[in-house]
Amino acid sequence: MQTTAPKHTQWKDLAPFSATGIGSVPFLSADQACQEILSHESLIPFWPQLVQKDPREDMVLQYSPPLPCLQPDLAQKNLFYDPNCNRAETLLLFYEKFLASDFSFFSLLPDFAAGFFRLLQILPSLPPSVRYVKGQIVGPITLGLSVKLPSDRFLIHDPELMDTVVKGLALQAVYQAKKFEDFDRKSIIFLDEPSLSGYGSAFTPLSRDEVIKILEETIQHIREQVGSLIGLHCCGNTDWSLLLSLDLDIINLDAFNFGHSFLLYPNEIKKFLEKGKAVAWGLVPTAGFTGQETALALLDQLAAHFQTLINKGISPERLYTQALLTPACGMGTLSEQTAGRLLALLAEVSLRARERFDLS
């Protein structure tokens, strides 16, 4: 085994194979969740979504407070359109707040995001070596496909309301980034888009152009106000060529289960990397986590993926330098003990990857 870490060019001031989480965790205490995450020095801190503590922490509900005419149903853990909403007045107020960039209106709320506020309290005590903090929002496609209107249409087919979803989610992402900036930390913001899993099937109610327009507008609104690295997480199979065409900094996939389908797009991956973007490989399984997984076996799987792309003409240096690591998906359905073991394995994989993929 090497006694010194190999030297790589850094991407965006991040060590190769830096690791972070997706968001959801099973812990019931915000402090416990943050301490568990921060106990692993090789992990980029991320604020935890306490989905087993409070239904308001569910990602579809979590970002709903500023969105016009949408109300959370805590018993069903979903959003519904309020038929008693004065739509015209509510939309007018929303756009006034949006045009003013009123972050008191677009802030996260402690009852909906306890982990975010606990992490903010801890940030001043973290060393300057912690350069980045990761946040997340539910993706606009996922939210738009999660709400049925009285007409029995999905919200995503109501252009007026969908515009407020795009703008409202984007400004909640900006709010997070600005809060991290207050503590001299750079930010990574992921759009979580599980509803893009299976996109391209005959059952998808959206055209490719519609998906691109919605996502690009969300990304652009964030970029206009902060310099965050913007990523998109999709934990299933999808049309990766679509996502690789977007103005993202990071693509995050479930590489444990769907890595082979991602590899079907080598030309698009090559172009994405050559633009200076990164791939976050969701290498550590979540739903199927057994505790028998080893860093060595997971890195063997990653090495096989890399070799496939190298054989297609992609630079090993780009693959290694522009690589991040994550769990395959969120950990909200796991036990606390299992989540702790998974985070420890992720941290180990991150460190061992730097030794294994040595360009020197």
pLDDT at 89: 98
Domain region containing 247:
18-356
Q: 44 burial class (0-12, 13-18, 19+ CB within 10 angstroms)?
A: buried
Residue 12 resides in a domain: no
Per-residue model confidence (pLDDT) at position 6: 44
Question: Going by DSSP bridges, is the β-strand pair 78-81/70-73 parallel, antiparallel, or unpaired?
Answer: antiparallel
Cα separation, 104 vs 247, in Å, equals: 28
Please check whether residue 134 lies inside any domain of the structure: yes
d(CA 232, CA 167): 17
Tens of each residue's pLDDT in the chain, 360 residues: 333 344 557 999 999 999 999 999 999 999 999 999 999 999 999 999 999 999 999 999 999 999 999 999 999 989 999 999 999 999 999 999 999 999 999 999 999 999 999 999 999 999 999 999 999 999 999 999 999 999 989 999 999 999 999 999 999 999 999 999 999 999 999 999 999 987 765 456 788 999 999 999 999 999 999 999 999 999 999 999 999 999 999 999 999 999 999 999 999 999 999 999 999 999 999 998 998 999 999 999 999 999 999 999 999 999 999 999 999 999 999 999 999 999 999 999 999 999 999 865
Assigned domain for 163 exists: yes
Nearest C-alpha neighbor of 8 from the set 324, 222, 253: 324
Instruction: Say if residues 139 and 215 touch (Cβ distance below 8 Å).
Output: yes
In a domain, residue 8? The reply is no
Q: pTM score, two decimals?
A: 0.95
Strands (E), 6-99: 18-19, 24-25, 49-50, 70-73, 78-81
In a domain, 330, yes or no: yes
Q: What CATH number is attached to the domain comprising 231?
A: 3.20.20.210
What pLDDT is attached to residue 268? 99
Joined together, the tokens standing for residue 237 give 């199979």
355 in Cβ contact with 303 (< 8 Å): no
Instruction: Compute and round to an integer the Cα radius of gyration of the chain.
Output: 20
Strands 278-284 and 250-253: parallel
Residue 3 lies in a domain: no
Residue 11 in domain = no
Q: What are the residues whose beta carbons fall under 8 Å from the beta carbon of 219, sequence distance 6 or more?
A: 191, 230, 246, 247, 248
* Run of H or E including 115: helix 114-122
Query: Is 54 a domain residue?
Result: yes
DSSP of 128-194: TT--EEEEEEE-HHHHHTT-B-TTS-BGGG-HHHHHHHHHHHHHHHHHHHHHHHTTT-EEEEEEE-G
Q: How many domains does the chain have?
A: 1
